Amino acid sequence: MLTRKQHELLRFIQARLEESGISPSFEEMKEALDLKSKSGVHRLISALEERGFIRRLPNRARALEVLRQPDDAGIKPQRPVPANSNDDSARARVPQLAPEPANDVIEIPLHGRIAAGVPIEALEGQSSLAVPAALLGSGEHYALEVSGDSMVDAGILDGDFALVKRTNTCRDGEIVVALVRGEEATLKYLRRENGMVRLDPANAAYEPQIYGPDEIEVQGKLAGLLRRYH
């Protein structure tokens, strides 16, 4: 038997999956159940998992699958109907399996805003952003909100979320997050020439920026974009 809170949480998760195909976040579950902390959500999730009501899909954030509801406990499995059976009434009694929820979502850190124009401070705090797993490859990723229009010709617009693979190396011509003089970060094409580092915009209204190699630190390279339409 489930406690009242366990039952409420199970119903909330199921409703969210039916509505959007994506499991609610722990913050959303905490607010829906009026809990004081996310640790209470973790305990409820673990209890439901131990009792076989839900399961966590591996290697995915916000990925929960509801296996059964408390009302299912007294339902006996139906006898399978052979594929060549003509008994339509028997077929009607066989419960249809619901499609698996579209839980291919990963939560990655969201670090402030990054300039696609004049460099501004990045990594100025941290929250998270839910991203379709198909947009990311292997490795560690984070997101930055783009500010400015210097990369518009590369399809990167003000307000987009740049999905960045964390790395300190890159090839010439790749779009990178470059930390300038240890203080400011910008999103640009990086090229090396004559012992210097050139950060190129993708907008004719902006000039390339030239720095010494010791003035630039690569903090990641662009892996994808996420755009919200209002």
| Active-site option among 30, 165, 188, 221 | 188
Question: How far is 173 from 70, CA to CA, in rounded Å?
Answer: 56
Please answer whether residues 153 and 202 qualify as being in contact, where contact means their C-beta atoms are separated by less than 8 angstroms: yes
Q: Could you tell me if 12 and 29 are in contact, meaning their C-beta atoms sit under 8 angstroms apart?
A: yes
Residue 147's SS3 state is strand
**Separation of alpha carbons 208 and 102, rounded Å:** 43
- DSSP classification of residue 91: H
Say what the alpha-carbon torsion angle 184, 193, 143, 158 is, to the nearest 10 degrees. Answer: 80
Q: Which residue has the tokens 């850190």?
A: 109
Active site residue 150: yes
Q: Which amino acid is at 209?
A: Q
Bridge partner residues of 193 (DSSP): 196
Annotated active-site residue in 23, 25, 147, 150: 150
Distance CA 50, CA 71 (A): 17
Pull the structure tokens for residue 69.
């509801």
User: Nearest Cα to 121, choosing from 167, 180, 169, 170?
Assistant: 180
- The Cβ of residue 57 has, within 10 Å, a number of other Cβ atoms equal to 15
Active-site residue numbers? 150, 188
